[in-house]
Amino acid sequence: MRAKEARNGKNIGISFEFFPPKNAEMEAQLWSTVEALKAWDPEFVSVTYGAGGSTQDTTLATVRTMIRDAGLAAASHLTCVGATREDVHAAVAEFRAAGVKHFVALRGDPQGGIGSAYQPFPGGYANAAELTAGLTELGGFEISVAAYPEKHPESADTAADIDMLKRKVDAGATRALTQFFFDNDVFERYLARVRAAGINIPVLPGILPIHNLAQVKKFAALCGASVPAFVEEVLAPVDDDPQERAKRAAELASAQVRDLMVRGIDDFHFYTMNRPQLVTAVLEQSGLKPGANAGASHAA
């Protein structure tokens, strides 16, 4: 793991999540975003992986370019939905050959989509804890996993959810990345329960600057996250004013980051949505400065 960058006198670690592009226009947008955010010298970046490996080829190509051309420490998401263990191991071998040393191990959404019943694939890993154990056995990887401050929607309760996180840690996970949240009290209470359960790995808060309030509310409802009233009160009145909406969204997210710093958090994982402007504004308004590689360029 890389050392954190000293930013405004604090050792703050940042990381970014991207998703693989679906067409040429989205590909250009992705690499423009990578170029802009690379200046912040992230500890790592991650690239999502479609359910059942549906984006495996584009994820692999994206991660390979990030490692080879952009010089970034790139992690690939990896799921076990719709795949046998042999399928998963074959994918891991391809990613290893591309230089991947870090996976974000996830069960993945049910094949029928979010909200449908999950069924383990015959001959496959049943959940993220088993997948983490499999990656640990294969050896040579850093393994991040997901954490849910408001619990996974399929967990019976918070205790069961934290027990699953403990299983993933016992299986070899070295870092947890949280689902997005907007109420820092929720995160602080969750982290206290995680630590009380004997889980001592870093738990990075997932920060989502809001580009589209309606879309975020819809996704939050599906994944069990909440959008507090104060978020709607700030953003809803300016929904038809893109410039003011972006300004307020950056202020909201940067206030969240600054408050988390006051509470002792020094690692942050940003969901970029493959757009650099809001994330950059949040970082700047949080009092952070670009890292040691600011100004570096790459050919993507």
User: Which residues, in sequence order, are CB contacts of 156 under 8 Å at separation 6+?
Assistant: none
Please check whether residue 121 is in contact with residue 84, taking contact to mean a CB–CB distance below 8 angstroms.
Answer: yes
Catalytic site positions: 17
- β-strands 10-18, 44-47: how paired? parallel
* Measured distance CA(142)–CA(1) in Å, rounded: 9
Q: What is the dihedral of CA 35, 37, 43, 44, to 10 degrees?
A: -60
Please check whether residue 203 is in contact with residue 187, taking contact to mean a CB–CB distance below 8 angstroms.
Answer: no
Using CB atoms within 10 Å of the CB of residue 143, give its burial: 0 to 12 exposed, 13 to 18 middle, 19+ buried.
buried
* Measured distance CA(131)–CA(126) in Å, rounded: 8
Q: Which helix (H) or strand (E) holds 105?
A: strand 102-105
Q: Enter the tokens of residue 66.
A: 């990030």
CB count in 10 Å sphere of residue 200: 9
